[in-house]
Amino acid sequence: MKGTMMRFPLTLPSLFERAGKLFPQVEIISQRPDNSTHRYTYADWFRRTNALAATLQHCGIKRGDRVATLMWNHSVHLEAYFGIPIVGGVLHTLNLRLHPDELAFIINHAEDRFLIVDDVLLPLLEKVRGQVNIEKVFVTSFGGCQRGSGAYEDYETAISNCHSTPVRIELDEDDALGMCYTSGTTGKPKGVVYSHRAIALHSYSISLPDNFCISRNDTILPAMSMFHANAWGMPFAAIMNGSGLVLPGPNLQPDRLLDLLSDNQVTLTGAVPTVWLGVIDALEREPDRWTLPEGMRVIVAGSACPEALFRRFDKFDVHVIQPWGMTETTPIATVCTPKPHMKSWPDNRKYEIRAKQGLPSPFTEVRATSDDGEIPWDGKSVGELEVRGPFIAAGYFKLPEESSRWTSDGWLRTGDVVTIDPEGYVKITDRSKDLIKSGGEWISSVDVENALVAHPCVAEAAVIAVPHPKWQERPLAVVVVRKGSTTTEEDLRSFLCQTFAKWQLPDAIVFVDQLPHTSTGKLLKSELRRTYANWSWQPVDASS
C-alpha cells in the first residue's frame, strides 16, 4: 500500500543534528594520559565536529573514502566518530595494541586515505609509516608530546583554520559509516563494514529498557576501547540520547577507573571481565574510599563473565549485565536481563540466568544448529549459534572467498557453541575450537573457568584441551592467584568437585603470574595451547 510513511533514511547526520540542537549543555569529560581533565559541552563538540567535517571536505574527501583513527578514548575521537561519516567518509578505527606489521596490513587492505592519530601514539605510527600510503595525517594534542616530522598536520590548527560549514550530502542508509577489523587469533584480520542503518538501529536497540536502558539521565563511561567494535555502540547511543560522557583515555587502572566512576557519578559503564576483576578487588580492599551511584550498571562482555563477579558487585549495589556479540554483529546481539516472573526465583537460580548471554536484541534472530539440524530450545541440546538481522554483517570487506561463514539461507555462523533454554536465553558453553572432548564426552572450558574464578583465591583462570594418549583430550587449567592469597591444586580440585563430576575436572592445574590476552582483552587460548602443546600427563584416572 502506497502513501504510508515518509521515506526518511536512517543516517548518522540526523542523530548528530538532534544532539547539537537538543542537548547543548550536556558535558563531555576526557582524561588525558597525565590524569588531567578536559571538559566541554555538546555545543562545543558539535561545533568542532562540523569543523572536522568541513576540513575533510576541503581536503577532497569523497563518499566511501576511509579515514583511519589511531586514538584512545577521548573527545577528539568522538568528534571523528561523527565528523567523518556525516560527509560520506568511512570511520576506520585502528587497534593501537596490534603489532606494527598487522597494523600496516590493515591500513593497506582498507586503503585508508587519511589518518587522525594521538600525539602519544606517533611512535607506533612511525613504525609503519614506510609500509603504508596515507595521503594526510592529522595529529591531536592529547598528551602534549612532540609532533614528529613535518609530514604531519596539527589537528587543532587544521580545524581552527577551516571557517566554512560542511556541505551536507545526501546519504543513503545503506552507505558505509564505519569499519573495524576482527581481532581473530588465527589468519589475517578481516574487515567488517557498518552501514548508517545498522548503527542507527543498533543504537536504538541497546538503548531500550530491557537492554542497556540508556537515557538522557545517564552519565556513561565507555571503558571498552573506542578503537574496537564501535566501543560496543555506546558513543553513538549516548549521543543519540543526550547522555553525559566520561572518556577515560588510557587510564584504566582499577583505582583510577574507580575515581572516575565515583567523582563523576557514572551510571553506566562497560569493559571486558579482566578490567572489572581488578576493579572489584580494589573496591573490596577499600570499600569506603569510593561512592558509586546506586544501581550503577556495568556491562561485561568480550569473554564470559564469571557468576562470581555478579555476586561480588551486587554487594555494592552495582548491577552487572552480560551481553554477547562480535565485530560482525555491530556488536551487541544478545543482552541478559531477567523477565518479570523471574524476580521471585531463588537467588541461585537468578544468578544462573544472569550469567547467560541472554535474549536476542530487537531486530536480531538466533538459532543453533548441530549435525542433525536446528536444535530445540530446551536448555540442554548443544549447537553452533547462528544469527541474522539488520545489523549483522553480510560479508567481509574485499574477501568474497570468506562466504562460508554464512549459511545458504543467510545466517552468520558465529563459531560459538550454545544452548538455548525454553525462555529464549542463550548460554555459550564454549567456542567450537575450545570445547574439550574427553573419552567421547564434551567438557565446557567456560563452565570450568567460571567455577574456578568463584574460588576466593583465584583472580583469573583459563582451561584448555591438551592431547591425551588414552582420553583423546583432557582439560588443563592455568590459574592466576589473587595478590596476597595462596591456594593449592588439591584445594582447587576439591572446590570444583562441588559442581563437576570427577571426569570433568582438570587433570592438572598450573599456576602463573598472568594469562595472555588478545588486544581487546579476551583470553588468548591459542597461545596457551602452543605453550602447553607438549605437556606430559601424570597418570590420572579420568574414568570415574
Q: Which of 55, 69, 140, 182 is catalytic?
A: 182
Whether residue 301 contacts residue 231, with contact meaning beta carbons closer than 8 Å, is answered with no
Q: Which of 328, 386, 449, 460 is catalytic?
A: 328
Whether residue 68 contacts residue 107, with contact meaning beta carbons closer than 8 Å, is answered with yes
Cα gap 364→389, rounded to integer Å: 5
Secondary structure (3-state) at 412: strand
* 522 part of the active site: no
Q: Which of 62, 437, 470, 502 is catalytic?
A: 437
C-alpha cell recorded at residue 169? 550530502
Q: What is the DSSP string of 347-406?
A: HHHHHHHHTS-BEEPTT-EEEEEETTEEPPSSSS--EEEEEESTTS--S-TT-GGGGGGB
Secondary structure (3-state) at 177: strand
* 437 part of the active site: yes
Instruction: Region of 214 please: left (phi>0), alpha (psi -120 to 50) or beta.
Output: beta
Cα gap 396→182, rounded to integer Å: 10
Q: Which of 442, 470, 499, 502 is catalytic?
A: 442
Query: Closest Cα to residue 199, out of 243, 240, 242?
Result: 240
* 135 part of the active site: no
Pairing, β 441-443 against β 436-438: antiparallel
Cα gap 53→232, rounded to integer Å: 24
- Angle 30-31-36 from CA coordinates, rounded to 5°: 120
**Per residue in 272-285, is it b (16+ CB within 10 Å) or e — as a string?**
bbbbbbbbbebbee
Cα gap 279→371, rounded to integer Å: 42
Is the Cα torsion angle 140, 146, 151, 154 positive or negative in sign? positive
Cis peptide bond N-terminal to 331, omega within 30: yes
Name the residue type at position 290: W
Secondary structure (3-state) at 420: strand
Whether residue 68 contacts residue 108, with contact meaning beta carbons closer than 8 Å, is answered with no
- Strands, sheet with 332-336, edge to edge from the N-terminal-most edge strand: 37-41, 27-31, 244-247, 219-222, 268-271, 297-300, 319-325, 332-336, 359-360
Other Cβ atoms within 10 Å of 213 Cβ, number: 17
Cα gap 265→312, rounded to integer Å: 20
* 442 part of the active site: yes
In degrees rounded to 5, what are phi and psi of residue 60?
Answer: 95, 25
Q: Which residues contact 49 (CB under 8 A, 6 or more apart)?
A: 16, 79, 82, 83, 86
Q: Give the residue numbers annotated as catalytic, written as ranges.
A: 182, 328, 437, 442
